[in-house]
Amino acid sequence: MISTADFRNGLVVEMDGDLMEIVEFQHVKPGKGGAFVRTKFKNFLTGRVLEKTFRSGEKFEEARIEEQRWQFLYSDGNQFHFMDHDTYEQLAVNADIVGDKALWMKENSDVSLMFHDGKVITVEVPSHVVLTITKSDPGVQGDRTSGAKKPATLETGALIQVPLFLNEGDQVKVDTRTGDYVERM
């Protein structure tokens, strides 16, 4: 059990049967009355944001989230298959749990699987990945109306904006948090 005094950003607690991550909090000690804590939570599974106020000293159950490195093997439509590096155990995860992270996962890449009570609750990809451009129209010389960018499809199916000088077959580094082109590799 943890109390409001133990709150910190990123802490995950169990509240009303849901896993809630603390986004921000503020301890308030008014001149009159007891101290309280204003807290902004994000539902770990749905992403919904919720604001709540608690009396100082209230107790919560801390969620035990375990992060493990696994290798992404392949996808067969509804499920993504991963392998543990140490035991070679394979695990299938539903596509709804992986979500948009699938755009940044290529076969044989390492990802972090987050477990709660032995079940995968989310997949985390590295902040930057290197992917190959599989489809891109040639850049038009002198075209500056598009901000010197053009759409490009990557090997994972993600569609991003890249500079005009890049062509099919080029490798690019992409920021997975924003989906932005970073540099050519």
Domain ranges of the chain: 2-62, 66-124, 128-184
pLDDT score for 100: 87
pTM for this entry: 0.73
User: Do 66-124 and 128-184 come out as alike in CATH topology?
Assistant: yes
For the structural domain made of 128-184, what CATH number should be given?
A: 2.40.50.140
Contacts of 63 (CB under 8 A, 6+ apart): 12, 13, 14, 19, 44, 116
pLDDT score for 174: 94
pLDDT per residue as tens digits for the range 14-58? 888 888 888 999 998 888 888 899 999 988 777 789 999 988 888
> Which of the following CATH numbers is that of domain 2-62: 2.30.30.30, 1.10.287.130, 1.10.290.10, 3.40.50.720?
2.30.30.30
> Nearest CA to 131 among 111, 151, 93, 160?
160
- The arithmetic mean of pLDDT across residues 69-88, rounded, is 91
Res. 143: pLDDT tops 60: no
- The arithmetic mean of pLDDT across residues 99-127, rounded, is 90
CA distance 6 to 133: 46
CATH superfamily of 66-124: Nucleic acid-binding proteins (2.40.50.140)
Burial 12-26 (b: 16+ CB within 10 A, else e): bbebeeebbbbeebe
